[in-house]
Structure 1
């Protein structure tokens, strides 16, 4: 009897790549173009992971819908320009990320995916910039789903792969990732190197400090927790 498929889903910004400098620069450009003061860095990072329309409503709830739409468009354009000028450097991989992804992608019965607040265009270009095209068999993006923490991204990924709740793990750096995992009935692993503080990841079943520790937790998750 073959082993069940195991699905590992990764958030992107703050989990696989450190994009905060680019996020802040694009936000500054968008708010400046709209004649508004840019929110503080902590305020911006607290909303990373949400889809852009939801994020803008959180950042400037007093603004009308037209202004919020302008901010979304301005951010996308600025981020795209930064990506074109900087290449992969606009969102560098965290130390250890590539090695773990390569290790996991070669593991029998393990499939990798992403669940991100990025757009499809943004995610595809980031994956191409880092040469990760062969890594992810499912890519769930903001274009096609309600914003995190709605479980739609995880539910759809599981359906595409045919993975059970017990054989699915969501890895992320924000409270939204952990809440999404909880809502989808799957295990959540919180990473501490990202954009939300450790105490915001309270619903995580495991917490890790680096990619080496993450490898050990993933191995223990299936060899011990699922015996």
Structure 2
């Protein structure tokens, strides 16, 4: 496998935000008087577009209730967002891969405003050649994000890998015809990731780095 383009999910893959997202979903449900999902349920919807994620985590509500829930989630997430950090080794690896000419991209279930805030806060904006969010594309696992990124950058799907911490990421890769790698330190457990048959699954970012580096063009 020789790769020209690495596409990353953001939350739970590059940034250690899974626990904060789960708490924000639960607190939003509490604030709006809706049933509070268990951690496993709230964690499973991470990576989906927000309306779909909340409807899955808290099904059977009215449109008005979901609008209130979305507003409550955004308020909860913004409280403490500045404390979320990148996983160890992420910034150094991205800079090293960029310096050798590897193309880097992000495909995320975050909003455009949310991703732009995260990129600015981490100082990583200049490292990515393309980014896609649910504001521009269909929610994962639809392949639109990956299809647009590979098309815009002129890279064949066979020389592209999607890296993510959820089955939504890995199924998107399968739907787009790219390679897929899972990371088990984010939202979904290993068995859920393994069922999507990625090329490999890694327990930390340093192991992902060691596997990817010799396979980059």
TM-score, normalised by the number of residues in structure 2: 0.92
5+ long unaligned stretches in structure 1: none
Contact kept in structure 2, 1:5 and 1:111, CA below 8 Å: no
Q: 1:20 to 1:213 in 2, by over 3 A?
A: closer
Deviation per CA, 1:76-116, whole angstroms, max 9, x where unpaired?
23223433xxx2x2x211111111111111112x1111011
- Note the C-alpha offset of 1:159: 1.2
Q: 1:211: which partner in 2?
A: 205
Q: Out of 40, 61, 64, which is 1:63 matched to?
A: 61
Distance 1:177 1:24 in 2: 18
Q: 2:141: which partner in 1?
A: 149
Aligned CA-pair RMSD: 1.8
Moved over 4 A (4+): none
Task: Name the count of aligned residue pairs.
Answer: 214
Q: 1:5 to 1:45 in 2, by over 3 A?
A: closer
Residue 93 of structure 2 corresponds to residue 95 of structure 1: no
Q: 1:32 to 1:128 in 2, by over 3 A?
A: same
5+ long unaligned stretches in structure 2: none
Q: Out of 112, 117, 121, which is 1:129 matched to?
A: 121
Q: Out of 130, 134, 151, which is 1:159 matched to?
A: 151
Q: 1:114: which partner in 2?
A: 106
Q: 1:137 to 1:222 in 2, by over 3 A?
A: closer
Distance 2:33 2:23 in 1: 15
Distance 1:212 1:29 in 2: 33
Distance 1:66 1:75 in 2: 14
TM-score, normalised by the number of residues in structure 1: 0.88
- Note the C-alpha offset of 1:211: 2.2
Distance 1:52 1:186 in 2: 25
